[in-house]
Amino acid sequence: DVKVTQSSRYLVKRTGEKVFLECVQDMDHENMFWYRQDPGLGLRLIYFSYDVKMKEKGDIPEGYSVSREKKERFSLILESASTNQTSMYLCASISGRSTYHEQFFGPGTRLTVL
């Protein structure tokens, strides 16, 4: 059974804190993605990675950074959390560089920044 896991389902942090969101997939997928999802705005791509140590900016990378040191793990970092980063964060992975394949999502992390 294929799996994408995220380190936390719910997280509460304070403004200015550094926040790490971890994502691990066990499918040996090359491509991994971080999205945020907000009511009325849908899924928005923050960053993605095609391979270890590679990263590409998505549509809304400001205020975020990522790390891909191992193939199975893709981390999203909020350097200094702000209240407008309160959101649902979803990680996803897909095999190969082709976009013909199904994208698998993790369960999501609901982050609240106070």
Partner 1 sequence: GQNIDQPTEMTATEGAIVQINCTYQTSGFNGLFWYQQHAGEAPTFLSYNVLDGLEEKGRFSSFLSRSKGYSYLLLKELQMKDSASYLCAYSGNTPLVFGKGTRLSVIA
Give the binding site for partner 1 (CB under 8 A).
31, 33, 40-43, 45, 48, 58, 90, 99-100, 102-108, 110
**Shortest separation between residue 56's beta carbon and partner 1, angstroms:** 8
The span from the CA of 30 to the CA of 52, in Å, is 8
Q: Which is nearer to partner 1, 84 or 99 (CB)?
A: 99
Please check whether residue 3 is in contact with residue 63, taking contact to mean a CB–CB distance below 8 angstroms. no
Q: Which is nearer to partner 1, 31 or 87 (CB)?
A: 31
| CA-based nearest residue to 1, from 24, 23, 27, 22 | 27
Using the 8-state DSSP alphabet, how is residue 79 labeled? Answer: S
**Shortest separation between residue 19's beta carbon and partner 1, angstroms:** 20
What is the residue whose two structure tokens read 């926040």? 19
**Shortest separation between residue 46's beta carbon and partner 1, angstroms:** 11
